[in-house]
Structure 1
Amino acid sequence: MTRDAIRLRQVVRRFGSGDAAVTALHDLTLSFTAGTFTAVMGPSGSGKSTLLHCAAGLDRPTSGSVLLGETDLTALDETRLTLLRRDRIGFVFQSFNLLPTLTAEQNVALPLRLAGRRPSRGEVRAVLSRVGLSDRARHRPQELSGGQQQRVAIARAVISRPEVLFGDEPTGALDSSTGREVLRMLRTLVDDGGQTIVMVTHDPVAAAHADRVVFLADGRLHGTLDTPSASAVAARMTRMEATAC
């Protein structure tokens, strides 16, 4: 049986108040199946990042609910929400956000150390091996390529075995060849490790690595596309952008 890793129910996210209020998400109901890779796309200002931040517990909806498994994130206070994000959610940003004075293995181990755990070297090396960097464990970020730095950031995000890994344009700062390398690695995390991944991207080629693409327009669901190809995604985006003009 399939199960939902994340469910959004009638989520509204509004910024500001009165006449200046802007609604970024309108009554959005959406689910992400466990063990699948979903890409989120839409024109600029469509609410992609807001959706990601609400789903990951980084931002609170104005109304509606967000469930991680059976846990309602919107019912948690800030302390419990922080602990949940630490233990059950991984997040990868476009900028790698690695600490420059730490080696790759030290950067990967950091979340566990901040949580009061002392990870074994074997545990850290195993995660680095999963992202193809077992031979770069003692290198600092400046000694790594952009793609290698992003893979370290992904290893850091998955070492706590999160239920969902979120990516906000994780290949946006990489050249196309290196980006494809990182995307293949994300695909492997899903196929071989059963990881759930939700990724915001503007790139149809990146989206084609996903099982499903979710399209947003003006903060509303604008359809989905299963088993996407880059050409089909690009055609859908072209139609959406033409409609918006």
Structure 2
Amino acid sequence: MDEAVRLESLTKTYSSGANPVTALREVTMAFPRGSFTAIMGPSGSGKSTLLQCAAGLDRPTSGRVSVDGTDLSTLNETQLTELRRERTGFIFQSFNLLPSLTAAQNVSLPLRLAGRKPKREAIARALALVGLAEKAGSRPGQLSGGQQQRVAIARALVSRPAVLFADEPTGALDLHTGRELLDTLRKLAGPPTGDGYAATELADRPTTIVMVTHDPNVAAYADRVVFLADGVLAGGLERPTAEAVAARMTSLAVS
């Protein structure tokens, strides 16, 4: 499989007076197209910084990021915004829904911003996929926190992104709904082995999933788990189990 995202010697330093903080140090790794990768590590290990740099939301201090074959360092801010809007999707802890729009209108927003006319059927499928078909006309204030997160997930999926970046996507969901979401992400990325791609009713091309999580049970849905510690790579697991992930996280916490 070719690479949907590649990081080369990625370093990110934040200036903080006389004491700059380096969040990432010379991180090099690739995310194959159609793969599902979980990123884990202790608090302050650089997980969120890696996700933001990989997604083009923050620029690295040095190194290079390529997304869907495009070197982000060659893009100006307008081009970078267009790439994020048209070729990536985002699920964050905050829902970022517009309160004056209905669920269906919030889901359609990325397509409208990209100058594409949303198809009613695609919006309906996206909402049905996250269990909110009957809430299409509801506004965020009429939805629970978990329902608002599911609208945000549908919004991220409706544009059929090449890469979907997720930061704790199940954080606001109950256990049952969280499992349904993870099953959906698993299907979008293809079989757990990474061999081939299983199309779904929402997408007919591979979607690469890059997900930050602290939960070993959530990470076990991924093809692999990559661990960070103090801003550097600290190994990984292929075909992870929740038990193996938890054991590795414990060893990182005490090392």
TM-score range (shorter-chain normalised) is: over 0.9
- Between the aligned partners of 2:145 and 2:217, the Cα distance in structure 1 is 19
Note if 1:195 corresponds to 2:195.
no
- The structure-2 alpha-carbon separation of the partners of 1:183 and 1:146, relative to structure 1 and needing over 3 Å to count, comes to farther
Classify the secondary structure of the residue corresponding to 1:98: coil
% identical aligned pairs:
63
Letter in 1 for 2:248: R
Note if 1:231 corresponds to 2:231.
no
Q: For residues 164-199 of structure 1, what are the alpha-carbon distances to aligned partners after superposition, in whole Å with 9 as ceiling and x for unaligned?
A: 000111112333333223222222322344321101
TM-score normalized by the length of structure 1: 0.92
Tell me the equivalent position of 2:45. 46
Tell me the equivalent position of 2:195. none
Q: What does residue range 1-245 of structure 1 map to in structure 2 within 5 Å?
A: 2-16=1-15, 19-191=18-190, 192=200, 193=203, 194-243=206-255
- Between the aligned partners of 1:71 and 1:59, the Cα distance in structure 2 is 16
Deviates more, 1:113-122 or 1:150-159: 113-122
Report if the CA contact (8 A) 1:41-1:215 is conserved.
Answer: yes
- Between the aligned partners of 2:153 and 2:75, the Cα distance in structure 1 is 26
TM-score normalized by the length of structure 2: 0.89
Q: For residues 37-84 of structure 1, what are the alpha-carbon distances to aligned partners after superposition, in whole Å with 9 as ceiling and x for unaligned?
A: 111000000000000000000000111100013210122111111111
Deviates more, 1:137-146 or 1:211-220: 137-146
- Between the aligned partners of 2:180 and 2:213, the Cα distance in structure 1 is 15
Structure 2 unaligned blocks of 5 or more: 191-199
RMSD: 1.7
- The structure in which a higher percent of residues are helix is 1
Aligned residues: 242
Structure 1 unaligned blocks of 5 or more: none
- Between the aligned partners of 1:104 and 1:175, the Cα distance in structure 2 is 19
